[in-house]
């Protein structure tokens, strides 16, 4: 069975500082990996995804994530936080046969301090 | 940009009542999903639907739940006899293989069972 662990339910950074949200996964086969963002009272928006190919994936709003198979990790980073980045971030894994259910982590709430 | 539309945005119902949550997936998508998020918890998979039948369901999706695509555009989730623990945000999502496995989620329906 697949699972996702997001370290830190709440991360707080200063505006302009590095954002690092951690995600580790458990899967018997190389999975597809996703990061979603949820702004207050809104749905889930896809930030980026890794399926195959380059392990460093760039997404929207300046975010990127790197798939590290040896560490079973898919951490999300952004060099410089903006106030508008404050939201809930979810890491998710999917079996690599595609269009199969997403398994989500518990989420990390990112706060950005002015 | 194409959207997944969910109605209503918020529904309050009495315990034991039937509710129908409605979703309009993106028009050329073939795979449809329901997920739920109990307040403060992670997003959980309920059911996936393809070619007019359920393709996969979780243990949460018991006999109280059903899904239907009554016409060419709507995708519904019915809860026959609601319980207090059904209170959650329900998300509909759709996907198409050609989009390389990134789901598009709706904004959700907040169901409150009283």
B44 part of contact set with chain A, CB < 8 Å: yes
- For residues A21 and A24, give the distance between their C-alpha atoms in angstroms, rounded to a whole number: 10
Mean pLDDT of B40-59: 92
| pLDDT over threshold 60, residue B99 | no
Return the structure tokens found at B52.
């007019």
The single residue listed with the structure tokens 């979780």 is B58
B99 touches chain A (CB under 8 A): no
Q: Which residues contact residue A50 at a Cβ distance below 8 angstroms, ignoring those fewer than 6 apart?
A: A32, A33, A34, A57, A65, A67, A74
Position A29 pLDDT exceeds 80:
no
Which residues of chain B does A35 touch, with a Cβ-Cβ cutoff of 8 Å? none
In this prediction, residue B98 carries a pLDDT of 61
Candidate from B91, B101, B104 with C-beta closest to A94: B101
- Which of A29-43, A60-74, B89-103 bottoms out in mean pLDDT, i.e. has the lowest? B89-103
A78-114 pLDDT per residue, tens: 999 999 999 999 999 987 666 678 899 999 999 999 9
Between B107 and B40, residue with greater pLDDT:
B107
Q: And the tokens for A80?
A: 């410089």
Taking the CA of residue B9 and the nearest CA in chain A, the distance in Å comes to 10
């Amino acid at each position: 069975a697949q699972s996702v662990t997001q370290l830190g339910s709440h991360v707080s950074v200063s505006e302009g500082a590095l954002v690092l949200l951690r995600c580790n996964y458990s899967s018997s086969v190389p999975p597809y990996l996703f990061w979603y963002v949820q702004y207050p009272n809104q749905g889930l928006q896809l930030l980026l995804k890794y399926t195959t190919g380059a392990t460093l994936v760039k997404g929207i709003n300046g975010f990127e994530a790197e798939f590290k198979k040896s560490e079973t990790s898919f951490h999300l980073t952004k060099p410089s936080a903006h106030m508008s980045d404050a939201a809930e971030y979810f890491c998710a894994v999917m079996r690599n046969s595609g269009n199969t259910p997403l398994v989500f982590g518990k989420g990390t709430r990112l706060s950005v301090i002015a | 940009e194409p959207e997944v539309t969910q109605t209503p945005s918020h529904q309050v119902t009495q315990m034991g009542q039937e509710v129908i949550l409605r979703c309009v997936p993106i028009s050329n998508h073939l795979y449809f999903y329901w997920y739920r998020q109990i307040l403060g918890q992670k997003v959980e998979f309920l059911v996936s639907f393809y070619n007019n039948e359920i393709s996969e369901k979780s243990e949460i999706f018991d006999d109280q739940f059903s899904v239907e695509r009554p016409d060419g555009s709507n995708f519904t989730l019915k809860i026959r006899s609601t319980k207090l623990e059904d209170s959650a945000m329900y998300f509909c999502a759709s996907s198409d293989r050609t989009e390389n496995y990134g789901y598009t989620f709706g904004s959700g329906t907040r169901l409150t069972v009283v």
